Structure formats: structure tokens, C-alpha cells
Amino acid sequence: MPDRKATRAKRGLILIVEDEANLRQGIADYLTRRGYDVQTAADGAEALARVAASAVDVILTDMQMKGLSNLDLVDALIEKAPQAQILVMTAFGTVKQAVEAMKRGIYDYLTKPLNMDELLVYMDKALEQKRLHEELSSLREALQTRHAFGNIIGKSSGMQEVYHKIEKVAGTTATVLILGESGTGKQMVAQAIHYNSPRSDGPFVTLTCASIPDSLLASEFFGYEKGAFTGAATARAGKFETAHGGTLFIDEVSEVEPGVQVSLLRFLQERQFERVGGNRTIQADVRVIAACNKDLMEEVKQGNFREDLYYRLNVFPICLPPLRERRDDIPLLADHFVRKYAKQNDKTIEGLTTQAILLLMNHDWAGNVRELEHLIERAVIMSDGDWIRSAEFLPHLSEHEALQKEAGFGDNLSLTENFEQVEKYLIARALDEAKGNRTQAASLLGITYRALRYKMNKHGF
Ligand SMILES: Nc1ncnc2c1ncn2[C@@H]1O[C@H](COP(=O)(O)OP(=O)(O)OP(=O)(O)O)[C@@H](O)[C@H]1O
Ligand SMILES: [Mg+2]
């Protein structure tokens, strides 16, 4: 009957662990009749095999069984089925043991002989608790740090804000101004906006203003008609026309000369322009994203950049923080680049030693992520071992800085802070390797599931 099936699916999967066959079967039949999915196990070993095979919601287990000692079984079940709620059955006189089990993290205990109505109440409460748990952890996950947005890596609060803004603005046609020092990822953000927008099937066209002589900039933007200037033997479309239906990324917009600034302003206001040497007005459906590694407002104050154009561009600013202001992203980025370049160079490299990571975390990165990427690429190429060591970076970081770091890692970090950072990094890595499976991550780290849970809480994972 479909109805009954629906109820069962909702009620959850219960595992009954009891060595006394009659009692085991009795409880199983009783719960099955009430719409629960039930599995049974006659001893600890069978119980562990069952939880390994299916995602059990609640485990109802006896405390007095042969084989494994009882608290050991509870420990093993918590470890092997961290998602399940555990209810233990205990005979009168062994409540003390049940209390001990509660301390270890079971949900609750029931005393034998069982009162079946009471069992149902506990069962539903345990299931409800589990559901709340799941909701909370998925909420936490959603609220919590993202480690990446597409190819953009970073989990610092600064980057969370950047991801949030990309998400908000991608679906619109608003002009975006991306500000940030060189190498902070402005181009990546511009691409992320385009490829997450309804225009993602349209072209993404880049014009890097600094690389084009002033005299040619207008024709790069707007194209030219035949005979517009000496050498214009045929007419040519500019970037605005090429980008029709897509996005034009104007990189280093502060370098646009004043004459072209006027035409740009007109495009942003009216969405139309003329080719150089032509008088035919052309309409183009183009979303504009501009980027600048200078303080653009300062350029306005200096009289180098039109104020009205500044405000037209600055509709939705996104500021990329320099790497030295988001040092928690450094281990993640470094790891990402090690993997990337190890793969590209056909090398097997486990990662960076903790000392190497600390060294990187304390460097100031004037060239931001680009500088880090290049440094890691070089280290991967040079490396002969399984691990990249701090020595491989030392020649490239300034001598003074290197000596200082070798002596004591961070000048501005206490040993405890250093330790905490290493611990946090290792946990993140283990979780990453275990694809989020905490039990597996704990075993990679050689600690218990519970210890991992405690440490994850401590570090705000
Ligand atoms: N958050 C990030 N995650 C992964 N890679 C990054 C990140 N930020 C930057 N990079 C890498 O660093 C390099 C520089 O990034 P990008 O070209 O986007 O910087 P930019 O801000 O445009 O720099 P510039 O102002 O010098 O043009 C690229 O190789 C890019 O892949
Ligand atoms: Mg760039």
C-alpha cells in the first residue's frame, strides 16, 4: 500500500541490537507494525556490520551482551554511525552504566522490562532529534564558509562577501566595478559574474586599456569605418559590437583617456555609439564590468578621471581584499596551486610541510595571489621530494624576512596561535581529502571522531 510506504519512509530506519531472540523479534514486530523500517542484530559485531551497510536513524541497543564489552560497543557505534541517535536498554541495577553511556554521547536510555508505549515516545523523540540535527547542520553548512566559488578559491570572510556579491549581481545587467590590487583575482571575478549570468551563452570580451595606445583606444572600443584614418582600408567592428549579447570587461579602466571617457559615458547612459569615422548610430546589448587596481576616486580628485563616469561605473562595486588581509586563505590557495601544478608537471607531491605553510602565511604578498601562484609553480617544478619544504621558498622571499620567519614563524603570532592555525589547516585538509566524511577525516588525522568534532567546533567549521 503506497500510504503505508510513505509513512515508513518518514518514520526512519531502526536497528535493534539484542542478544535475546524473543525480545529482539518482539520489539522488531511491534515497531514494524507501527510503520518503522526495522533491522536487527544479535550481537555487537553484527550491529557494526549493519551500520556500515545502511544509514540507520536510530539504534536501540541492549547494554548486557556477550562479545564486546558494552561501553565499547556504544563507543564503536558512535564512531561508525555518527549520524544515528542511540538509545540503550538497560536492566534495573545497571543504570550507572547507562549514565556513563549518556556521557559518551548516546541519546537516552530505557529500563527493562520495556514499556512499549514508552518505547514509541522515545523512538519518535530520537527521530525528531536526528531531524533537527540534520536541519541544523545543513543550515550551518549553507550559512557557513564556502571554500570556493567556481575556480575562485578562498574561505575568508572577505571572500565570502565577494561570493555573496557575485551571486547578487550576476542575474542583473547592472554595471559592476571591481576594485583590488594587482593579482587579487579581478579578472576571475568578472568571468564568474558573466558565466553565472543569463548572458553566459553570449561572448565575454576583454579590453585591457593599459596595453593600448591612446590613439587606438576609441577604435578598439567602438570600431571604425573604412577610411576613418590612414591605414583603415576596411571597416572593423569594435569590442562593444563583438560583445553584443554578452559582457565587455574593461580592465584597467583608469587608463582610458579623457576623449574616450566621454564616449564610454554615453554608451553607459544610452547604450549606443558610432564607429570612429562614421555617423551611423549603433545599438549594442552589452553588460559592462570594469576593473581597476588604482584608487579610482583618487583619480577623480586628481582630475584624471571624469566624476560622472566614475558614478556610472560605480553602480555595484566589488572590492577584492589584498591577500595579506585574508591570510587564512593562504593554506587553501597554496594547496590548490600545489595540486594544479603537480598535475600539470606530472609529479606526485603530497603537499606543503607545516613550516612551509607558516612561512607563506607570514609573507606580505605585494603581488597577491598571482605572486603566490608563481612561487608555488616554481617550487613544484624544483621539488624532488614528496613534500614541499620551506627551504624551497626561502631564496625567493627576502633574506631578512626568511631569517626572521625561520627563527620563529610569525613575529606577530604567538606559538599557540601558530599551533591553532596549523591544526585548523590540517583539519581542513583532512576533511577535504575525506570529501567531508568526518569519520574518515578523523582516522586520517589519527584522532577519534569525537575529538575531531570538538576541534571542528572550536575552529568554527
Ligand atoms: N581566489 C583565487 N583563487 C584561485 N586563483 C586565483 C585567485 N585569485 C587570483 N588567482 C590567480 O591569480 C592570477 C591573477 O588573477 P587575476 O588575473 O584575476 O588578477 P587581477 O586582479 O586581474 O590582476 P591584475 O590587476 O594584475 O590584472 C591568476 O592566475 C588567477 O588564476
Ligand atoms: Mg587582471
pLDDT in tens, 287-308: 999 999 999 999 999 999 999 9
Output the nine-digit C-alpha cell for 222: 567602438
257 and 341 part of one domain: no
State the ligand closest to the CA atom of 186.
1
Instruction: Using the atom order of ligand 1, give the atom closest to the CA of residue 185.
Output: 18
Q: Is residue 351 in contact with ligand 1, taking CB distance under 6 Å? A: no
Instruction: Using the atom order of ligand 1, give the atom closest to the CA of residue 153.
Output: 3
- Total structural domains within the chain: 3
The answer for residues whose C-beta is within 8 angstroms of residue 396's C-beta and 6 or more apart is 375, 378
Select from 206, 289, 370, 371 the residue to mutate for testing ligand 1; criterion: most ligand atoms less than 8 Å from CB: 370
Separation of CA 182 and ligand 2 centre (Å): 7
Pair 81, 51: CB distance under 8 Å? yes
246 and 377 part of one domain: no
* CATH at residue 189: 3.40.50.300
Separation of CA 277 and ligand 1 centre (Å): 37
* CATH at residue 357: 1.10.8.60
129 and 165 part of one domain: no
Select from 160, 166, 184 the residue to mutate for testing ligand 1; criterion: most ligand atoms less than 8 Å from CB: 184
292 and 420 part of one domain: no
Q: Is residue 206 in contact with ligand 1, taking CB distance under 6 Å? A: no
286 and 421 part of one domain: no
- Alpha-carbon gap, residue 393 to 398, rounded angstroms: 10
Separation of CA 368 and ligand 1 centre (Å): 8
Of all residues in the chain, the percent with pLDDT exceeding 70 is 89
Separation of CA 336 and ligand 1 centre (Å): 13
Among 275, 295, 321, the domain-final residue is: 321
Separation of CA 251 and ligand 2 centre (Å): 6
159 and 299 part of one domain: yes
Indicate whether 37 pLDDT > 50. yes
- Alpha-carbon gap, residue 249 to 313, rounded angstroms: 12
Across the chain, mean pLDDT equals: 86
Q: What global pTM score does this model have? A: 0.62
Q: Give the CA dihedral 23, 28, 34, 36, nearest 10 degrees.
A: 140
- 233-271 residue pLDDT tens: 899 999 999 999 999 999 999 999 999 999 999 999 999
Among 142, 175, 193, the domain-final residue is: 142
In degrees rounded to 5, what are phi and psi of residue 57? -90, -45
119 and 233 part of one domain: no
Separation of CA 309 and ligand 2 centre (Å): 21
CA-nearest residue, atom 24 of ligand 1: 182
- 76-94 residue pLDDT tens: 998 888 889 999 998 776 7
Q: Is residue 156 in contact with ligand 1, taking CB distance under 6 Å? A: no
- Of these ranges, 31-40, 141-150, 382-391, 409-418, the one predicted with the greatest mean pLDDT is 31-40
Of all residues in the chain, the percent with pLDDT exceeding 90 is 56
- 11-36 residue pLDDT tens: 889 999 999 999 999 999 999 999 99
Instruction: Using the atom order of ligand 1, give the atom closest to the CA of residue 251.
Output: 27
Among 268, 293, 321, the domain-final residue is: 321
Q: Is residue 293 in contact with ligand 1, taking CB distance under 6 Å? A: yes
Instruction: Using the atom order of ligand 1, give the atom closest to the CA of residue 208.
Output: 27
Question: What confidence score (pLDDT) does residue 134 get?
Answer: 78
360 and 283 part of one domain: no
12 and 130 part of one domain: yes
451 and 351 part of one domain: yes
197 and 296 part of one domain: yes
173 and 256 part of one domain: yes
Pair 314, 307: CB distance under 8 Å? no
What residues make up the domain containing 445?
A: 324-458
Reported confidence tier of residue 7, pLDDT bands at 50, 70, 90? very low
Q: Which of 52, 94, 40, 41 lies closest to 70 in space, CA to CA?
A: 94
* CATH at residue 72: 3.40.50.2300
